[in-house]
Amino acid sequence: MRADLLRQLAEFGQENDQQATRREERLLNITPDTGPFLALLIKAMQARAVLEIGTSNGYSTIWLADAAQTTDGHVTTVEVNKARAAQAHHNFQQAALADTITLKVTPAESLLPTIASASFDFIFLDSDRTQYCVWWPLLHRILRPGGLMVVDNAVSHQHELVDFLALLETEAGIETSLVPLGKGELLIWKQR
């Protein structure tokens, strides 16, 4: 059932984005091959505390939460758009994952400062790329040592990540790798 829902959401997202005339109308979901990749990372790490910034309609969140169920984990996801959050909440219920997901409808810059240090094992970043440099000190602080952050669109929107990538090059205690899957996934590992 969950596989069918994911397939339907992937198709809906692609059709929606092809028909949308304005960026704010697009769902901008991850690609269907990115979902299993993220799920595998969560399972391999045995990540229990997962944070997603950029829920949209919850397609990627369902992949994360499905994996988190196997690790007795929980996903906190952040979406600023109330209509998208409502769609996501509905989809979480359809996927029978509502108990595994906490949906925060708030700007990330409001939530991140309130989170305790080293709170998350895994962070998936798929949001406003112009904010990544501003958010980085907070994201780095809340990612536990040995934790992994994955940044979507690292190939498709590489030009928007130039400053963020330059910032990461100056940061001690992290390692990065670019995976050319989907729209490009940048892996950032925080050393123990």
CATH number, domain at 175?
Answer: 3.40.50.150
Global pTM value? 0.94
- Residue 174 has φ and ψ, to the nearest 5°, of -130, 155
Which residues are paired to 187 by β-bridges? 150, 177
In a domain, 112, yes or no: yes
Residues 122-135 have a mean pLDDT of 97
In a domain, 86, yes or no: yes
**What does the pLDDT read at residue 2?**
87
Which residues are paired to 52 by β-bridges? 77, 124
Alpha helices in the chain (DSSP H): 2-19, 34-45, 59-70, 82-94, 108-111, 132-142, 162-170
**What does the pLDDT read at residue 65?**
98
**What does the pLDDT read at residue 1?**
61
> In this model, does residue 110 exceed pLDDT 70?
yes
Residues 41-64 have a mean pLDDT of 97
Least-confidence region, from 22-31, 66-75, 180-189: 22-31
In a domain, 90, yes or no: yes
In a domain, 180, yes or no: yes
How many domains would you assign to the chain? 1
> In this model, does residue 6 exceed pLDDT 90?
no
> In this model, does residue 17 exceed pLDDT 80?
no
- Residue 81 has φ and ψ, to the nearest 5°, of -85, 115
In a domain, 94, yes or no: yes
User: Which domain, by its residues, includes 126?
Assistant: 30-190
In a domain, 131, yes or no: yes
Average pLDDT of the chain, as a whole number? 94
Residue-wise pLDDT tens digits, 114-123: 999 999 999 9
In a domain, 2, yes or no: no
> CA–CA separation, 25 vs 139, rounded Å?
27
> In this model, does residue 189 exceed pLDDT 90?
yes
Residue-wise pLDDT tens digits, 142-175: 999 999 999 999 999 999 999 999 999 999 999 9
The residue with greater pLDDT, 90 or 28, is: 90
- Residue 55 has φ and ψ, to the nearest 5°, of -75, -40
Residues 68-97 have a mean pLDDT of 97
In a domain, 34, yes or no: yes
